[in-house]
Chain A
Amino acid sequence: QVQLVESGGGVVQPGRSLRVSCAVSGFTFSDYAFHWVRQTSGKGLEWVAAIAYDGNSKYHADSVKGRFTISRDNSKNTLYLQMNSLRAEDTAVYYCARSYGALVGPTPTVWGQGTLVTVSS
């Protein structure tokens, strides 16, 4: 069955870096675009980044631009989010989500369970 499994979350100090991953199975990874979406405790969803099926087109929200980078390895069926210069306001559950198409226009429709990132000294 279709599965998206995030990993790599944890506690990190402000200013440090962390990389979260999303391993997928049950479908052809390279056929779809992917998104990262985050949610702070008790708050709403925030779109963070998106990447097209071939990794050639990448987009980031203004709130993370220049600090976070989305990437993918189609040979490993894995999506990544490299997070640098982390801030307290980046504390959230980070969800990996598959688009319903190959490009980033189609929105997320299949979700992982999320991984918690806590930025604290």
Chain B
Amino acid sequence: QTVVTQEPSFSVSPGGTVTFTCGLSSGSVSTSFNPTWYQQTPGQAPRTLIYSTNTRSSGVPDRFSGSILGNKAALTITGAQTDDESDYYCVLYLGSGISVFGGGTKLTVL
């Protein structure tokens, strides 16, 4: 069974840059997996940040960007703000109609 991997947690200072990754337990992530990134705060529905690897969703600030770094998908926050303190999830389309979420990364901004 394929597992989508994410770092459990990250800490960044206000104004700093942080990069989350989204990988596979076996194999490399490419654009064909349609990597998508979400931000979620407690009690709220997920908010889509980036879809199709690097397309910013409507209203998302340009300090959020998506890419492929090596064999993983990546989400970078440039100039982190205290409001960015949230959980971040990625999802990958594995083919044959199946998508799988990563376990999420908890971001602390301090």
Contacts and interface: CB of A to CB of B under 8 A. Distances in A.
A107 B57 contact: no
Main secondary structure of the interface of B (DSSP, over half): strand
A105 interface: yes
Interface string A87-109: 00000000100001000111111
Interface in A44-64: 44-47, 50, 57-59, 61-62
Interface in B24-65: 34, 36, 38, 40, 45-48, 51-52, 57
A105 B34 CA distance: 8
A110 to B, nearest CB: 7
Contacts of B1: 62
B97 A47 contact: no
A35 B57 CA distance: 18
For A57, A59, A111, the residue with the greatest tally of chain B CB atoms inside 10 Å of its CB is: A111
A70 to B, nearest CB: 11
Interface residues of B, number: 25
Residue of B36, B98, B99, B103 with most chain A CB atoms under a 10 A cut-off: B99
A108 B93 contact: no
Given A100-B51, A105-B34, A108-B36, A61 B45 contact: no
A59 B96 contact: yes
Interface string A29-50: 0000001010000001111001
A50 B97 contact: yes
Interface of B: 1, 34, 36, 38, 40, 45-48, 51-52, 57, 89, 91, 93, 95-104
Interface of A: 35, 37, 44-47, 50, 57-59, 61-62, 95, 100, 104-114
Given A44-B102, A113-B45, 12 more contacts: A35-B99, A44-B101, A44-B103, A45-B40, A45-B91, A47-B98, A47-B101, A61-B98, A95-B46, A104-B97, A106-B52, A111-B47
18 contacts: A44-B89, A45-B38, A45-B46, A45-B91, A47-B98, A47-B99, A47-B100, A50-B99, A57-B97, A59-B96, A59-B97, A95-B45, A105-B34, A106-B52, A107-B99, A108-B99, A109-B51, A112-B45
